[in-house]
Chains A and B, each alone.
Chain A
Amino acid sequence: MPPEIVIPAIDVRVIAPMLTIFAWATVLLMVDLFMPGKDRKLTGYLALAGLAVTALVTLAVQPAPGTSRTSFSNMVVLDSFGTTLTLILLLIAAFSIAISINYLSYHNIEMGEYYPLILFATGGMILLGQSTNLILVFLGVELLSITLYVLTAFFYPRYTSEEAGLKYLLLGAFAAGFLIYGIALIYGGAGTLDLFEIGAFLNTSLAVGSAFPPGALLVLIGGALVLIGFCFKISLVPFHMWTPDVYEGSPTPVAAFMSVGTKGAAFAALLRILIVALLPFKIYWLPVLGVLATLTMLFGNIAALMQPNMKRMLAYSSVGHAGYITIGIMTAGTHGTESFLFYLLAYALANMGAFAVLITLERRGEMAWSVDDFAGLWKRYPLLAIAMATFMLSLAGVPPTAGFFGKFFVFAAAWEDGQIFLVFMGVLSSAIAAFFYLRVIMRMFMDEPVREVIPIFNRGLTITIGIAVVGTIVFGLLPTPLVSLVQNSVIALGVGG
């Protein structure tokens, strides 16, 4: 008897944000084809409009805190955690596009496809934040990775950009191998790829007998492999080796986009997997993540100390920040989720701002982001120097910046979970990190200029830096609205719960 084709009841609201952004990206690809002339700025503005529309759609479908919707055979969920994350990711993408518009033409790498690719990657990130099925998690990772391989290699006049793209591709493929193998093992053990069902399976199978059931063992091994796959994406030590090279070689806006967006989305997916599916295994992954976080914070910050190249320094600093975020997510409690979202936004503002300042100082035909270029910046461009100092202080976690509250919430969540040692390692590495952030500030304010530097300003950069500075300071003084927002962002723990 041939089955009838019955398309199951679907709730388009659940995928509305990513549907919007994918549709916009596809249409934009075609619009770009018919656009006359060589100037591609209009495509960039249209992409920004697409992000704005997606944000509006996200706000429109936002569920009440604590409620969620699932659809497509429970493969995606729309919960307030997902929508908050989506909004943050859209902001990150908007910053990236705003700082790209003039960058591309200035460096002669302008192609209209750049913007749809950013939108596709953003869509992949949104998908990662919402998916509750490992197949979709894998597809999300691949979608954002494949677009980023291309974007990394986008700076074609530079050999290093190609090299970075290749490096990222190879390591990304390696990570994808771990990920897919782990997913296969989990399927083999649990018989399902649905996160909720995996969680239920583990709960029942671990509860039944005292012995470790073989199915659960497979899930454990698979979970470890999935974790390794994610560690590459979020560049936790010792899976971080690609980060500085790839950031350095790729176009600076892409590096900025990767340093915040990819991390945020991958962390969100990992958090959901840990909380929804693998919570019964917390005794296993907690120490592992603890060790990884400690190594990451210490190594990332110590390596950043040695860097005379600002872009590499920011890359290592992003490695270090991944360590702090790991502390936030590994507690897997409500405060952990909140601190993750808060930290992500604070870090996004400061890091995007810092990369934007880097772009103002980047010159055509050069690839040296020497800290020397910042020397004496204050005497000639005081506002730029103050903006950069704000970002550096926020990244270092000095009040009154948003970065301070980010660190505070992360440490508070860790203490609440009883991870006192991790809090100690966290504050210790913050003290180390202060070294190199402070060095940049000192160069800007207290040194004489080393060479003539003429910053490039344009609307996109100025607005990005402006928003980032204002956001960093306002949320540093008055984080209350943001705290309410993240407190209302709850991860759905069950279907339709």
Chain B
Amino acid sequence: MFPYLSLILWLPALGALALLATPREQHQTARSIALAVSLLTFVISLALPLRFNAADPSMQFVEQVAWIPQWGISYHLGLDGLSLWLVVLTTFLIPIALFATWNSIHAQVRYFQILMLLLETAMIGVFIALDTILFYLFWEFTLIPMAFMIGIWGSGNRIYAARKFFLYTFAGSVLMLMGIIGLSFLHRDATGAELTSFSLTQIMGDIRTGAFALEFGMEQLLFGLFFIAFAIKVPMWPFHTWLPDAHVQAPTAGSVILAGVLLKLGTYGLIRFNLSLFPNASEWAAPAIGILAVIGIIYGAWIAFAQTDMKKLVAYSSVSHMGFIVLGIFALNEIGITGAVLQMVNHGLSTGALFLIVGYIYERRHTREMSEFGGLWTVMPIYGGLALVMVLSSVGLPGLNGFIGEFAIMQGAFISPALGWGYVAVSVIGVVLAAVYLLRMYRETFMGEVNKPENAELKDLSGGEIGMMVALLVPIVVIGLFPTLFFAPMQASISEVAQAFRSVVAEGQ
């Protein structure tokens, strides 16, 4: 069988190596090579949904090679309905982000492209790794390129932001390392195996068959260790403080990737690890986490509403939107999780697009204060039109992608025994607030009179910029109109997660 996953995983890294060989001063060459490599990766990754067997809930495209056999650690890759769209989202957003830097990154271009490609490898690796140590390796490695991107090419208080980003996530992930170690040793002792196994599929399988049952206190501990790591990454309230700093200081491409993919690593981990490995603890913790998620929804929206800086506004809106995703996950039923996974993709697309929109205007005016703008619609009609669609997608207008995901999440939370209608009722306020702050931003910048002379002469979007927007627009509309296309492949895997969850919890009671 053709190793699709390895190819997609390592192609960007190889591209980064090739970039090292290019001359340092030839910026255009570096940009072209990086873009070509990332586009090629995207094209190859399109084979995944095409060859994906939607009826099969188990891992597909599996590759497994012994890596550290003495410890039962292997190079183990695989893809299921949960990770399928996230991988495609990653390969899709990277070329867009790279293209977005074409005119905005001028210093040390080659290194920027190298970091971007390394980051792509790391992020894909997180989604497809089926060995906990391999997962941890990729997970940690996403930190380094991102921190460097923020710290070197960021603006203003970039070093502070980079440090905060690195240390927050690192602190969380060392706790996860402890959890990974504990999980494998407990698994070894429970199953009586001679060697530890770090294979996620094996541990998960043993949990589902009941061969590996954790003591409840230990399960709570491990759940907590993993949860903190993922909650910081998501970021959930109250672990979110690194996010606005990182977003505001990061270059546009960095923000797009950060919001588009990096945050999804956290929610993906919550489903893949917390939900699948610790069902009892998940059920135990779901109400509390639901409350945190709802607080995050309202808090993020509230703070976003108070922002005058557009990028900060979008950053805080991420906190709010990610709260929805966590709420969907901890509804602990098929529909909630499905909605959450779809919303991860949606958020990646629409928030990525919003960051690009803010980035475009920032390149032209070098400010992101809303009060500096007004009436841009008349000056830049194409820009205004595209921005409107993206804002509406983020708000959750029916017919666009955001609506589908949010609706599924609400539905899931409503019927969930762990959460219930109270959570939905409060989080609906978040939806309303999202409409208020996003539309307010749109009104203040695009509507009304052109009241600043600097804005009168602004050029509308270039062909390339329109191309990027359109590229993002296509999936946004397609998901909105034909959600089944996207739901279908993930259905089997997510049902499996939810069913296994129910059976384990039922057994425990």
Given contacts A408-B177, A479-B68, A480-B69, contact A434 B144 (CB under 8 A): no
Q: Does B148 contact A (CB under 8 A)?
A: yes
Cβ of A107 to closest chain B Cβ, rounded Å: 34
* Contact yes or no, B137 A438, CB < 8 A: no
* Contact yes or no, B166 A434, CB < 8 A: yes
Q: Does A22 contact B (CB under 8 A)?
A: no
Q: Mark B105-132, 1 if CB is under 8 A from A, else 0.
A: 0000000000000000000000000000
Q: Mark B135-154, 1 if CB is under 8 A from A, else 0.
A: 01100110110011001100
Most buried by B among A399, A424, A428, A484: A399
* Contact yes or no, A445 B178, CB < 8 A: no
Q: Which residues of A contact B71 (CB under 8 A)?
A: 412, 483
Q: Does B171 contact A (CB under 8 A)?
A: yes
Q: Does A446 contact B (CB under 8 A)?
A: yes
Q: Which residues of A contact B148 (CB under 8 A)?
A: 445
Interface residues of A in 330-366 (CB under 8 A from B): none
Q: Does A420 contact B (CB under 8 A)?
A: yes
* Contact yes or no, B144 A398, CB < 8 A: yes
* Contact yes or no, B170 A434, CB < 8 A: yes
Q: Mark A413-452, 1 if CB is under 8 A from B, else 0.
A: 0011000100110011011001100110010011100000
* Contact yes or no, B163 A483, CB < 8 A: no
Q: Does B190 contact A (CB under 8 A)?
A: no
* Contact yes or no, B162 A415, CB < 8 A: no
- Bound-state Cα–Cα, A400 to B141, Å: 7
Cβ of B38 to closest chain A Cβ, rounded Å: 21
Q: Does B4 contact A (CB under 8 A)?
A: no
* Contact yes or no, B70 A484, CB < 8 A: yes
Q: Does B67 contact A (CB under 8 A)?
A: yes
* Contact yes or no, B162 A446, CB < 8 A: yes
- Bound-state Cα–Cα, A439 to B164, Å: 11
Choose one: A430, A439, A480; the contact of B67 (CB below 8 Å): A480
Q: Mark A273-306, 1 if CB is under 8 A from B, else 0.
A: 0000000000000000000000000000000000
Q: Does A369 contact B (CB under 8 A)?
A: no
Cβ of A364 to closest chain B Cβ, rounded Å: 32
Q: Does B389 contact A (CB under 8 A)?
A: no
Q: Which residues of A contact B144 (CB under 8 A)?
A: 393, 398
Q: Which residues of B contact A431 (CB under 8 A)?
A: 167, 170-171, 174
Q: Does A404 contact B (CB under 8 A)?
A: yes
Q: Which residues of B contact A407 (CB under 8 A)?
A: 177
The closest CB in chain B to the CB of A486 belongs to B70
Q: Which residues of A contact B407 (CB under 8 A)?
A: none
- Bound-state Cα–Cα, A399 to B131, Å: 15
Q: Does B40 contact A (CB under 8 A)?
A: no
Cβ of A258 to closest chain B Cβ, rounded Å: 28
* Contact yes or no, A415 B68, CB < 8 A: no
Q: Which residues of B contact A487 (CB under 8 A)?
A: 70
Q: Does A411 contact B (CB under 8 A)?
A: yes
Q: Does B33 contact A (CB under 8 A)?
A: no
Q: Which residues of A contact B174 (CB under 8 A)?
A: 397, 427-428, 430-431
- Bound-state Cα–Cα, A220 to B12, Å: 59
Q: Which residues of B contact A439 (CB under 8 A)?
A: 163
Given contacts A408-B177, A431-B171, contact A415 B70 (CB under 8 A): no
* Contact yes or no, A423 B141, CB < 8 A: no
Instruction: For the complex, count residues of B whose C-beta is within 8 A of A.
Output: 33
The closest CB in chain B to the CB of A476 belongs to B137
* Contact yes or no, B140 A411, CB < 8 A: no
The closest CB in chain A to the CB of B158 belongs to A446
Q: Does B182 contact A (CB under 8 A)?
A: yes
Q: Which residues of A contact B185 (CB under 8 A)?
A: 412, 415-416
- Bound-state Cα–Cα, A428 to B228, Å: 13
- Bound-state Cα–Cα, A26 to B185, Å: 50
Q: Which residues of B contact A424 (CB under 8 A)?
A: 178
- Bound-state Cα–Cα, A447 to B151, Å: 9
Q: Does B291 contact A (CB under 8 A)?
A: no
Given contacts A423-B181, A438-B167, contact A404 B158 (CB under 8 A): no
Q: Which residues of A contact B171 (CB under 8 A)?
A: 431, 434
* Contact yes or no, A445 B170, CB < 8 A: no
Q: Which residues of A contact B136 (CB under 8 A)?
A: 399
Q: Which residues of B contact A438 (CB under 8 A)?
A: 147, 163, 166-167
Q: Which residues of B contact A400 (CB under 8 A)?
A: 137, 141
The closest CB in chain B to the CB of A430 belongs to B174
- Bound-state Cα–Cα, A407 to B137, Å: 13
Choose one: A404, A445, A479, A480; the contact of B151 (CB below 8 Å): A445
- Bound-state Cα–Cα, A71 to B158, Å: 63
Q: Mark B65-77, 1 if CB is under 8 A from A, else 0.
A: 0011111000000
Q: Which residues of B contact A427 (CB under 8 A)?
A: 174-175, 177-178
Q: Does B133 contact A (CB under 8 A)?
A: yes
* Contact yes or no, B67 A446, CB < 8 A: no
* Contact yes or no, A445 B166, CB < 8 A: no
Interface residues of B in 194-228 (CB under 8 A from A): 196
Cβ of B168 to closest chain A Cβ, rounded Å: 10
Given contacts A398-B170, A420-B182, A447-B159, contact A483 B70 (CB under 8 A): yes
The closest CB in chain B to the CB of A424 belongs to B178
* Contact yes or no, B70 A399, CB < 8 A: no
- Bound-state Cα–Cα, A387 to B167, Å: 21
Given contacts A399-B137, A431-B170, A484-B70, contact A442 B163 (CB under 8 A): yes
- Bound-state Cα–Cα, A402 to B426, Å: 48
- Bound-state Cα–Cα, A390 to B494, Å: 40
* Contact yes or no, A442 B162, CB < 8 A: yes
* Contact yes or no, A408 B133, CB < 8 A: yes
* Contact yes or no, A446 B181, CB < 8 A: no
Q: Which residues of B contact A393 (CB under 8 A)?
A: 144
Q: Which residues of A contact B70 (CB under 8 A)?
A: 480, 483-484, 487
The closest CB in chain A to the CB of B159 belongs to A446
Cβ of A352 to closest chain B Cβ, rounded Å: 22
- Bound-state Cα–Cα, A408 to B180, Å: 10
Q: Which residues of B contact A480 (CB under 8 A)?
A: 67-70
Choose one: A420, A434, A442, A483; the contact of B68 (CB below 8 Å): A483
* Contact yes or no, B68 A446, CB < 8 A: no
- Bound-state Cα–Cα, A483 to B196, Å: 14
* Contact yes or no, B151 A446, CB < 8 A: yes
Cβ of B318 to closest chain A Cβ, rounded Å: 24
Q: Which residues of B contact A435 (CB under 8 A)?
A: 167
Q: Mark B40-77, 1 if CB is under 8 A from A, else 0.
A: 00000000000000000000000000011111000000
Q: Mark A97-123, 1 if CB is under 8 A from B, else 0.
A: 000000000000000000000000000
- Bound-state Cα–Cα, A411 to B133, Å: 13
- Bound-state Cα–Cα, A399 to B151, Å: 20
Interface residues of A in 442-497 (CB under 8 A from B): 442, 445-447, 478-480, 483-484, 487
Given contacts A446-B159, A480-B67, contact A434 B167 (CB under 8 A): yes
Cβ of A105 to closest chain B Cβ, rounded Å: 34
Cβ of B226 to closest chain A Cβ, rounded Å: 13
Q: Which residues of B contact A442 (CB under 8 A)?
A: 151, 159, 162-163
- Bound-state Cα–Cα, A424 to B178, Å: 7
The closest CB in chain A to the CB of B176 belongs to A427
Cβ of B71 to closest chain A Cβ, rounded Å: 7
Q: Which residues of A contact B151 (CB under 8 A)?
A: 442, 445-446
- Bound-state Cα–Cα, A40 to B395, Å: 75
- Bound-state Cα–Cα, A438 to B164, Å: 11
- Bound-state Cα–Cα, A411 to B71, Å: 13
Q: Which residues of B contact A398 (CB under 8 A)?
A: 140, 143-144, 170
* 11 other A-B residue contacts (CB within 8 Å) besides A400-B141, A411-B178, A480-B69: A398-B140, A399-B136, A399-B140, A415-B185, A427-B178, A431-B167, A442-B151, A442-B159, A442-B163, A445-B152, A487-B70
Nearest first, the 9 A-B pairs at minimum CB distance are A427-B174, A431-B171, A446-B151, A399-B137, A399-B140, A434-B170, A427-B178, A412-B181, A483-B70
Sampled A-B contacts (21; CB under 8 Å)? A393-B144, A398-B140, A399-B140, A400-B141, A404-B137, A404-B140, A408-B181, A411-B178, A412-B181, A420-B182, A424-B178, A434-B167, A442-B162, A445-B152, A446-B151, A446-B152, A446-B159, A478-B67, A480-B70, A483-B71, A487-B70
